[in-house]
Chain A
Amino acid sequence: MILIRCPYCGELRTEDELTYGGEANIARPAETVSDEAWTDYLFMRTNPKGIHQEQWCCSAGCGQWFKVVRDTVSHRILDVWKFEEVSQAAEEVA
């Protein structure tokens, strides 16, 4: 079971106290984009084997959404940061 420390309330939360929100940093396009760009936004995800930036919510705690860098193979949490912050680890991966 995945453990993540919420960057807002500071509590170490277990997976069942959290809500997974899928891949992070998916930009919502304007409604003027092509059908293809829109359906990419709707459905296409990187789905990597390895380092993945994703959204989680401290849903049974403080209710805040935050971002996480997780290794999808080992489930190791490499970084956790608030929406208004920038992740050092995420920068390095990018």
Chain B
Amino acid sequence: MTTHGYRLPSGGRIDRTRTIAFEFNGRRLSGHPGDTLASALMANGVDIIGRSFKYRRPRGLYGAGVEDPNSMVAVRDAYGYEPALRAGQVRLGDGMQAWSVRGWPSAVFDVGGGVQLVSGLLNAGFYYKTFKWPSWSWFEPWIRRATGFGCPQAVDENRKVHHRHATYDVLIVGGGPAGLATARSLIGSGLRVFLAEDQPQLGGSLNWEAALIDGQSGSAWAASMARTLAEDSHTTILTSTTVTGAYENDHFVLVQSFWDDRGVHTECLWKLRAHHVVLATGMIERPLLFPDNDRPGIMLSGTVRRMINEFGVAPARRMAIYTNNDSGYLTALAAYRAGMAIAAVVDTRSAEAAMHATLSKEMGIPCLFDAQIQATAGYRRLATITVRQVSAVTKIACDGLAVSGGFSPCVHLAGHRGSKPVYDPTCGAFVPGDVPERWHVVGGVKATLDLSATFADAGAVAHTIRAGRGGLGSAHSPRVDVLSLGTGAIPTQPSVGSSSRMWVDFQNDVKASDIELAAREGYVAIEHLKRYTTLGMGTDQGRTSNVVGLSLLAALTNRTLSEVGTTTFRPPYTAIRLGTIANARRGDLFKPRRLFPTHGVHENRSAVFEDFGWERPDWYRSNANEREAAVALEMAAVRNHVGVFDASSLGKIEVTGPDAAKFLSRFYVSNLMTLKPERVRYSVMLKEDGVIFDDGVVSCLSDNHFLASPTSGNAEAVAAWFERWRQTEWPTMQVAISPVTANWTSIALAGPLARALLARLQPDFDISNDAFPHMQIREGTVGGVSARVARISFTGELQFEVSVQARYASSLLSTVLTAEGDLEPRPVGLEAWLRLRLEKGYLHVGSDTNGRTTPLDIGMGGIVAKRQDDFIGKRSLKLAFATSSEREQLVGLRALDGSLEVGGRILSRGHTQVPCPTEGYVTSACFSPSVGESIGLALIQRGHTRDGEVVKVFCGGTPISCRISNPIFYDPTNQRLQA
């Protein structure tokens, strides 16, 4: 491989005494501590870092940091793997491995390179048009394989993550000259100042620009500032820290990276609030538009200066410069001083406008004025540029081209707060418009190119901030002798040549011709243009390309840049690792496990637990070694003798006070005003739209004391729902709501021998069928402790639910399970419990109801019709949607052949084969040992009128025949639960 870039013999802030080994696409390379992956690749002469997104064009390094749209790499360091980083963001680590993320099988020899031949297919609106015609499915497999930004890897990360919260008086975003000067001038003010800089060292552009401040070099001045600030007890400085988002109430999210020689070992996510905010984020250079402006070797002009002065790397053997502003000459000078050959400075302006031209001329650098690049050439890397002037066309040999089209301030954070940037034609840039209160904008971010002006600005901002706090401290005014970046640059229109060869957005492969096409097709609103062409989307967010694209659209539609405006800025400014956001909330720490007070008793019985918000026994290995066998035994125990089920997660809300019955009646479909003490009633509750929200029983303990039992999953939500209505709608009702779910443990004894088992616990009240009938509740002493016993049934068998205080739970459960004699109580898990209730046709809210199901659909229309007074959701049941004859209604299903499956669709009448229209689905299903059939519940259109009808249900990949039936499959006359 030919080498173009190389390490300069001296210069830069790297440690040349040490060497770091790394790999790129399998090649073993080396660099120095202080290098980024970008500078190390350049020093090793790596031209091609990846292939472009759509057209598979070879692409090289374009920018030195996060602004680089091209150099996307996957990186593995000693602590983890990241699929999509810019090479300039990555500090070189020992043993680091990096890969091109685009380009398959390799970036240099890319089979997809043929895409360039069919590039006409992939222009603006390609996706939208393809969805309509001819067919997305023709393109999809090919597109899916060929595109994307790297692959994630399912590997364990060793990176540590932590989160910190903090509040400061002042947040300064950016540790360049503007941020440093502001922080320095706030020393002594008594304000707590937090300065965040995304680079590993403070100083920003001073680290590579030729500046003289207070008689020392820019980087030396920055280092002395850093020392001064570090000594100040009120100032906190974080480097390698990016402010990724600004949110309301001046809340910021920051990501701080901690590095060592082998990679990023820790990341800290800060959630920070600040009273004052100083935006000192600087600016990013813009490219120029010309044919084939994306060849490897072409890069931003400032990147060349940075490579030379910060990393001691020459980006090319023979450099040309293409500029529309004075900064191009700084690059020429930097390259000249570094001993590089300079082919020419190509300036779009006339000789008079170029203030540094004489400097370059004195050094023998050829300068071409009123000049445009009309072509570039080179295989895999730039070899020549063709420059057109009024009277001449010159071909110039060069392997590097530094491009500057002016500067774009980094206004993103103000944009996150809804501040619209405004176009300032005098400096050719979008600058922050109205910023939020107590925000201050300093330096490059307001397009200030002159360092003296920036320092004056910083002093003024510090003065304003101090004034609000008593004005302590004093301004610090550095003396500056620096070669200015000159004046701002008005965005330049494209040079001559084919617009279908001019790349605007390198990352998304958007060309000038795409923007022309979009404008022709009427996509002239900037947000439409973005979505139609993908300009400025993705991880790049148009950092380099936005203003270039905007100015093109402005010219095409005869509008000013102000009229065109910018797209919306949204957080985050750069990608954040998902693991850093997740922090410890993963794996077993994702959320707290909730264990029953009886958990140990279940463990002793070898329960197999499932997480349903609570860790609940699904089945017991003590019953059988295999799930289906255990479930069958557990079901048989309930049907034939007695089973013991832990129902502790069932919601329990005590509602007390003179208005308790009236209050509860407003929530339930059933009238609870008539519920007498010691009685229990089942009902459902709705939201105001008439859709079922929850179900359960309500018990009356005494006239002013009720116990509502919502489902396990809704225990908290129902309590909050009650409380909200009490506070906001019915504040004068005399009622108190106490959620007591976790205070009580409920053990259900179910089966023909349930009464005998309860008797073993020696209740101090009569439990005979006459004295204690179905749907009643008693308070008393059971097993020596005070208890509530409800005679209700979820299984269709005789059932007592014994509730005691949680601390007696284990003792009660152990006593019940070890009952001696012929009772043989078996522990019963949730799976058996749910199948038992399915045999009985009892619905399970959330399984057998969905977000549309009303009480009319589940056969409770009669109860609704009887209600005279209002309840929540009642009025909605009279709306057309609820009374429609086409509604899906809950029915039973019996399979005539095959097995029912949850989710199986019911084929519309007259259809026997799929695909076809459907009219409902199976909501619960199992094989019923009691009935000896595969049974299920289903929501079927007009189901209540179709009893006995045979329907086809798509189950197990084939339609099976089923008969619609009464949902009560087992003991339809309720003999057993009355026993």
Contacts and interface: CB of A to CB of B under 8 A. Distances in A.
B592 to A, nearest CB: 15
B139 interface: no
A57 B726 CA distance: 13
B386 to A, nearest CB: 51
Interface in A46-61: 55, 57, 59
A46 B213 CA distance: 57
Nearest to B253: A1
B199 interface: no
A65 B724 contact: yes
A57 B724 contact: yes
Given A30-B870, A31-B874, A74-B248, A21 B724 contact: yes
Contacts of A30: 870
Interface stretch (B257-265, B421-429, B727-735): B727-735
B177 to A, nearest CB: 31
Interface stretch (B330-338, B565-573, B875-883, B927-935): B875-883
Given A28-B729, A31-B874, A42-B876, A75 B248 contact: yes
A35 B879 contact: yes
Interface in A5-42: 21, 28-31, 33, 35, 38-39, 41-42
B875 A83 contact: no
Task: Please report whether the interface of chain A is mostly helix, strand, loop or mixed according to DSSP.
Answer: loop
Interface string B857-893: 0000000000000100011101110000000000000
Given A63-B723, A64-B727, A65-B728, A74 B418 contact: yes
B249 A83 contact: no
A68 B880 CA distance: 35
Contacts of A39: 879
A73 interface: yes
Interface in B241-299: 247-249, 251, 271
| Most B CB within 10 A of own CB, among A3, A21, A39, A42 | A42
B728 A83 contact: yes
Nearest to A27: B729
A30 B869 CA distance: 10
Nearest to A19: B720
B450 interface: no
Nearest to B875: A31
Q: Give chain B's interface residue range (CB within 8 Å of chain A).
A: 20 to 34
A39 B249 CA distance: 35
B779 interface: no
A47 B320 CA distance: 57
Interface in B712-741: 720, 723-724, 727-729, 731
B875 A38 contact: yes
A2 B731 CA distance: 27
Contacts of A35: 878-880
Nearest to B251: A1
B436 interface: yes
A33 B436 CA distance: 46
Contacts of B110: none
A44 to B, nearest CB: 13
Contacts of A92: none
A21 B418 CA distance: 24
A84 interface: yes
B352 to A, nearest CB: 47
B731 A1 contact: no
B688 A42 contact: yes
A83 B727 contact: yes
Interface in B918-940: none
Contacts of B724: 21, 57, 65
A68 to B, nearest CB: 13
Contacts of A75: 248-249
B880 A2 contact: no
Nearest to B247: A1
A65 B724 CA distance: 7
B146 to A, nearest CB: 40
Contacts of B271: 1
A65 B727 contact: yes
Interface in B396-448: 418, 436
B249 A1 contact: yes
Contacts of B870: 30-31
Given A28-B729, A74-B418, A2 B879 contact: no
Contacts of B720: 59
Nearest to A37: B875
B875 A33 contact: yes
A35 B723 CA distance: 28
A54 B880 CA distance: 30
Nearest to B728: A65
Contacts of A64: 727
A38 B879 contact: yes
Contacts of B23: none
Interface string A74-86: 1100000001100
B689 interface: yes
A73 B875 contact: no
Nearest to A33: B875
Contacts of A38: 875-876, 879
Contacts of A59: 720
B692 to A, nearest CB: 16
Nearest to A77: B249
A83 B731 contact: yes
Contacts of A84: 731
Contacts of B251: 1
B188 to A, nearest CB: 29
A30 B729 CA distance: 13
Contacts of B249: 1-3, 75
B757 to A, nearest CB: 40
Interface in B523-576: none
A57 B247 CA distance: 21
A72 to B, nearest CB: 10
Contacts of A28: 729
Contacts of B247: 1
A74 B250 CA distance: 11
A74 B689 contact: no
A8 to B, nearest CB: 10
A59 B879 CA distance: 33
B224 to A, nearest CB: 37
A38 B729 CA distance: 17
A86 to B, nearest CB: 14
A2 B251 CA distance: 8
Contacts of A41: 688
B418 A73 contact: yes
| Most A CB within 10 A of own CB, among B248, B436, B879 | B248
| Most A CB within 10 A of own CB, among B728, B731, B874 | B728
Nearest to B248: A75
A39 B688 CA distance: 10
Given A30-B870, A73-B418, A2 B248 contact: yes
Nearest to A63: B723
Contacts of A42: 688-689, 876
A74 B436 contact: yes
Interface in B670-729: 688-689, 720, 723-724, 727-729
A85 B614 CA distance: 41
Given A31-B875, A41-B688, A73-B418, 20 more contacts: A1-B247, A1-B271, A3-B249, A30-B870, A33-B875, A35-B878, A42-B689, A42-B876, A55-B728, A59-B720, A63-B723, A64-B727, A65-B724, A65-B727, A65-B728, A74-B418, A75-B248, A75-B249, A83-B728, A83-B731
14 contacts: A1-B247, A2-B249, A33-B875, A35-B879, A39-B879, A42-B688, A57-B724, A63-B723, A65-B724, A65-B727, A74-B248, A74-B436, A83-B727, A83-B728
5 closest Cβ pairs, A-B complex: A75-B248, A1-B251, A31-B875, A65-B727, A3-B249
Interface of B: 247-249, 251, 271, 418, 436, 688-689, 720, 723-724, 727-729, 731, 870, 874-876, 878-880
Interface of A: 1-3, 21, 28-31, 33, 35, 38-39, 41-42, 55, 57, 59, 63-65, 73-75, 83-84
